[in-house]
Structure 1
């Protein structure tokens, strides 16, 4: 009768030894031989009439080895199913000499498997987390910038006679030249479209009053500043920090002058931006826009707070791992084997992700967090309507329910949606357990924090 014994071989690391007697695997091997003899196609014999002895002689060794190994694996997973050790991934088979599997001398065999056990741990108390809610306060300038952007986006492009406005869009042809404007043979020629305000004050002054087909000669370094110079250098095919290229001269020919005629701030415009909100005056429009901008930045601030929570839980929750086992699993447990050096290099990120998985799973389980079918449906419906944008969905939206029904049958779609929703619930719950202090910050300051500290 098969037996499985357990032996500790390290921290959270055990060896399971499966011991088989002849009676455990030989009857099923003989059954497999008979089944194979009925299916085998061997020249000179009708199908189903191949003698068992012939099959045994030709295929017996491989069928025998397969059956012994299959039986060992079956006994291993029966043990795991009954004993329920809390293991990582799946067992790793220890090296076995399958050449000892002798069909002509059936005997007892032993196979070793290695398992890694999940640690027991206590999650760091969120009440002790020192957190800050970095709040962006929406200013009148931010509201006005957004209004300008929307007015331009919805405006009409006009073609004035001359350049007279920082907001002029100037279509130009760059042609490499000398300081006197003499074109360099084989030099760079490039078309571009730029806002006048991108140019340096000196070149803007030169361009004021110019019209289509007029030309000016300029030096790159004297005509663009900061990131605008880097952008132009790259557009002309140079590296953004090429100081020699920045000294080159170009003749600039104006091919077209444009200006966006901004949308008027009237009720028609207000209703396009906020359909159904009954926004009638400019003051109501500005207040509504301010609320939306504030909601956006508050959501960004919450995301950053959640990032702080993530790092607090990860850094302050103490947990041990069976490192040696996990590194071997990294080497051999995937589809493509890795070298020991590759596994070593990947382990820090892998162990961090593994630690977070254990923490988040425990928080979800201990606090009975769940996602209902209705919540999944509502989420998918919101995703579809968001994708459709401002399109008029019509009065009959029964097609939307049918579409969501089909999406609910897609396991990959459901899994991804579930993960997003349960993660959101987890962090909202975690936030409710904390008392962060609040400070005021600029959008640029918040963006910098997000850039330098994000999981």
Structure 2
């Protein structure tokens, strides 16, 4: 067997594997002999057919199978021994394979295209300037959250006359007759200049307005329409009010406390406010943690020179997901894929150089943390804690083991980022919720 490597680009190469008869024939003959012992061929007792006859019947298929097995193992072993990092999977040059005469040839040559990165050099020191944020909650965020809760758990009523923030249900018709549908209009989405038309109306009243001018933001989203229907709403329309819907805020009492947090969790208004504040704070801590981590990843990616074999990877993604994605899909998704791939190379390199390892116990704890968060959102966390080990086991064994590998990668990434923080000494800054939202938008 002869294996040669031809680096025809900075990050792409061809691997050629030449096989002669001595490389594969002993294994082919051994496999045919196994077949001969079990072969049930007409005119012969089971296992008594001549070797030559069995070889004639099964020889080609066994040859193809054994050569493919040999190629796969030899190529993998060869690539593992190289210093460069192979990306994706080797792509066979199929034009050459189609010319093979499996019945007559004794020597074979196969070619594979590969994409790789030669080396990954990551600098992690205090020359990297980073900033980590922490959120300071104001009384306004807490107050807004409580108002939302009171509204969410409030009682629905149908008043005689509309007020601000009501919902009007009725028939909307375009003047040109191209649109007619019964729907609900949230008055909170009406522009201030048009709002007076919708205030003080009663059942049966008709309002004339231009939805594209009167409704703030996305018209389809505000009215619950599809893009095609929303496009039909042009110019003046009439809206005939059928009903007025209003949510009266829930009172701050024990009934509300129990509905929100469960029985015996909160006993007065002060405790309720404090619990809401704590939950808000925890939620924002999680959000800012994710934001800070993404900022650190971006910083490392920007300061690490890694040239990916872009054309090769796009072709590999298309072939690896054949029938599931189009060339356009690959083009659209490639920027996000390449960014994640570069981060993975950086994370693995930092972990390797600094002996950072994701242990099995870490995976278990992170999975428990994830499941507790999911259960908490449904209010079942405390009841399900006794079954936590079962939930963890079921999750990690699911998806053919990929869930476990994803959690293992997540743990390593967290450890790598924690290590990076200790090396680059990032500046810390406390910001408001509004400032945080502004940073996310930008």
Q: Aligning the two structures, in what range does the TM-score lie when normalised by the shorter sequence?
A: 0.7 to 0.9
> Hey, what does 2:171 align to over in structure 1?
173
1:416 aligns to 2:406 (yes or no): yes
SS at match of 1:147: helix
1:330 and 2:320 correspond: no
Q: 1:313 aligns with which of 292, 297, 300?
A: 300
How is 1:147-158 mapped onto 2 (pairs within 5 angstroms)? Answer: 147-158=146-157
Which residue of structure 1 lines up, in the alignment, with residue 348 of structure 2? 361
1:438 aligns with 2:429: yes
- Return the TM-score normalized by structure 2: 0.76
- Match runs of 1:14-413 below 5 Å: 18=17, 20-61=19-60, 63-64=62-63, 66-67=65-66, 70-71=69-70, 74-77=73-76, 83=81, 85-88=83-86, 89-91=88-90, 95=96, 99=100, 103=104, 118-133=117-132, 136-163=135-162, 165-175=163-173, 188-199=179-190, 204-205=195-196, 208-211=199-202, 213-220=203-210, 224-227=214-217, 235=225, 245-253=233-241, 255-266=242-253, 269-270=256-257, 272-273=259-260, 282-283=269-270, 285-320=272-307, 326=312, 330=316, 334=320, 336=322, 351-388=338-375, 389-391=377-379, 397-410=385-398, 411-413=401-403
* Alpha-carbon distance between aligned partners in 2 of 1:353 and 1:327, rounded to the nearest angstrom: 13
Instruction: Sort the Cα spacing of 1:397 and 1:234 in 2 relative to 1 into closer, same or farther, 3 A.
Output: closer
Quote the offset at 1:71 in angstroms.
Answer: 4.5
| SS of equivalent residue, structure 1 residue 141 | helix
Match of 1:145, SS? helix
Distance in 1 separating the partners of 2:342 and 2:386: 44
Cα distance in structure 1, aligned partners of 2:217 and 2:318: 48
Secondary structure of 1:227's counterpart equals coil
The Cα of 1:317 is off from its aligned counterpart by: 0.9
Instruction: Tell me whether 387-396 or 331-340 shows the greater mean CA deviation.
Output: 331-340
1:279-327 CA distances to partner (integer Å, 9 max, x unpaired)? Answer: 5654554454344434433433332222221122112112355678x45
Q: Distance in 1 between matches of 2:200 and 2:326?
A: 68
Structure 2 SS opposite 1:355: helix
Q: What is the total number of aligned residue pairs between the two structures?
A: 434
How many angstroms apart in 1 are the aligned matches of 2:113 and 2:103?
25
Q: Distance in 1 between matches of 2:154 and 2:129?
A: 48
Whether the 8 Å contact between 2:2 and 2:18 is mirrored in structure 1 is yes
**Residues 351 and 187 (structure 1), Cα distance of their counterparts in 2 relative to 1, 3 Å cut:** closer
Secondary structure of 1:319 counterpart: coil
> Once the two structures are superposed, what CA deviation does each residue of 1:227-277 show, in whole Å capped at 9, x if it has no partner?
2766567749866577xx443231423x33333221222355346545699
CA distance in structure 1 between the partners assigned to 2:209 and 2:330 by the alignment: 53
Per-residue Cα deviation, 1:137-177 (whole angstroms, up to 9, x for no partner):
433333222111100111112333433x3243333333556
Structural RMSD (CA): 4.5
TM-superposed CA distance for 1:57, in Å, is 4.1
1:429 has 2:419 as partner:
yes
Unaligned runs of 5+ in 2: none
